[in-house]
Amino acid sequence: MAHENLPVVHVINGRQKKLLQGHPWVYGNEIERVEGEVVDGELVTVVDFRGRYMGTGFYNSRSLITVRLLTHRSEEITVELIAARVRAACEYRRFVMNRPGTDSCRLIYGEADRLPGVIADRFGDVIVLQVLALGMEKYTQVIADALVSCEKPGCLLLQNDDAIRRKEGMECFTKVLHGELPEETVISENGIRLSVDVKGGQKTGYFLDQKDNHLFVRQFCRDARVLDCFSYIGGFALNAVAGGAREVTAVDISESAVELIKRNAQLNGMQVNTVCANCFDFLRAQVKEKQKYDVIVLDPPAFTKAHANMANACRGYKEIALSAMRMLPAGGVLATHSCSYHMPEDVFVNTVLSAAQDLHRQVRVITLRRQDIDHPVLAGYPESHYLKSLWLQMLD
């Protein structure tokens, strides 16, 4: 049975289709009217323009995403339902993440695990939990308890300090909810050890979505001179060394990230040159110096957080691709990424390929990859596919 007597959100005609396909969001400008007293963070029923039931979700007038649906079925939202979703999310990772030498993965990926705004990453013995949607805030303890009972971590850190929380009308804070936070969190990813800063690092501390692509780079690196741009704590760089690279350079603008690259190289007994610089400037300077590399990885942050900035974002992707291609001889490999949902896959690919055309170079598309499978894509919710990973080889 669904909840009775909830306020009712009427969606304008035309927007019911995506909801019927399983999309979990209703934007403010998709709402025709609201019946009843709505309270931010509380449940509402969503109906289409004919009054047909579309789902039940949380309302938040302060968010552009005014309603986040928890279900498209006629069922009640209970703590049991939330706990069951956490268990199902953990079970999926047990199903797909049996990887030798890897002790870390994303356990909860928000809407794609039907837990809107909830992120949980497992870093070895530490789970980092973030709750980024107001409606889910009151289930924090339920989610934490379910995670602890499924995964039995040594520590669960609630890392609620993402700026998105302010937009949703919540405070930012960090708190240990279970166990004790070790002085240093060292994870294993495909046999490589990485020190991750779960408190002060970017996002939850590390980008687990690139695990599989980190491993993929190895095969191109035997005796290669490799450049890892936007390296963060060195995921690609260290895997390049593991793949037999002759020389690896990692570049990032963040000082603390560069410190961690050094620490991580040391943890693995590996040699990586580190540079703390703006990659746009660094790449330009390297081209001027006529530097050559066999493999170049580009993994910039999201240039565009909104559809409107797409032209600018394309210019950014193209500029760094042009510089990289100028330093890659025939046979050289470029792995270039976009982690912005707003950048469609075909636009990204065409942008990068247009750089090769401008240089009158022919390239081979080796493959087009995605985020690792612990970040599943939910059918009907295209926003859950965000990472594009394009691998090219220069033919001439």
Q: Identify the residue among 253, 287, 310, 359 touching ligand SAH (CB under 6 A).
A: 253
DSSP-derived 3-state class of residue 192: strand
Identify which range of 145-153, 184-192, 259-267, 296-304 contacts ligand SAH by CB under 6 A: 296-304
List, in sequence order, every residue forming a beta bridge with 248; answer none if it has no partner: 226
What gap in Å lies between CA 235 and CA 213, rounded to an integer?
A: 9
> Of 90, 155, 314, 339, which is the active-site residue?
339
Q: 260-279: buried (b, 16+ CB within 10 Å) or exposed (e) per residue?
A: bbebbbebbebebebbbeeb
Q: Identify the residue among 121, 294, 299, 374 touching ligand SAH (CB under 6 A).
A: 299
Identify which range of 79-87, 252-260, 324-332, 348-356 contacts ligand SAH by CB under 6 A: 252-260
Active-site residue flag, 172: no
Q: Which two tokens stand for residue 374?
A: 């612990």
Count CB atoms within 10 A of the CB of residue 41.
Answer: 19
Nearest to 192 by CA among 263, 276, 295, 125: 263
| Position 386 contacts ligand SAH (CB under 6 A) | no
Size of the site for ligand SAH (CB under 6 A): 18
CA angle 281, 393, 382 (to 5 degrees): 80
What gap in Å lies between CA 175 and CA 198, rounded to an integer?
A: 12
| Position 256 contacts ligand SAH (CB under 6 A) | no
Minimum distance from residue 249 beta carbon to ligand SAH (Å)? 13
Q: Identify the residue among 111, 189, 252, 294 touching ligand SAH (CB under 6 A).
A: 252
- Pick the closer one to ligand SAH by CB: 253 or 359: 253
| Position 301 contacts ligand SAH (CB under 6 A) | yes
Minimum distance from residue 177 beta carbon to ligand SAH (Å)? 26
CA angle 312, 314, 317 (to 5 degrees): 115
| Position 372 contacts ligand SAH (CB under 6 A) | no
| Position 235 contacts ligand SAH (CB under 6 A) | yes
Which residues in the 185-224 window bind ligand SAH by CB under 6 A? 202, 207, 210
Residue 49, phi then psi, degrees to nearest 5: -65, -20
Locate all alpha helices (DSSP H) within 268-308, ordered by sequence. Answer: 279-288
Q: What is the CA radius of gyration of the chain?
A: 22
| Position 236 contacts ligand SAH (CB under 6 A) | yes
| Position 348 contacts ligand SAH (CB under 6 A) | no
Minimum distance from residue 342 beta carbon to ligand SAH (Å)? 16
Locate all alpha helices (DSSP H) within the chain, ordered by sequence. Answer: 16-20, 79-96, 140-151, 164-167, 211-217, 235-242, 255-267, 279-288, 310-326, 345-358
- Pick the closer one to ligand SAH by CB: 216 or 232: 232
Q: Give contact residues for ligand SAH (rule: CB under 6 A).
A: 202, 207, 210, 230-232, 235-236, 252-254, 257, 278-280, 299-301
Q: Which sequence positions are flagged as catalytic?
A: 339
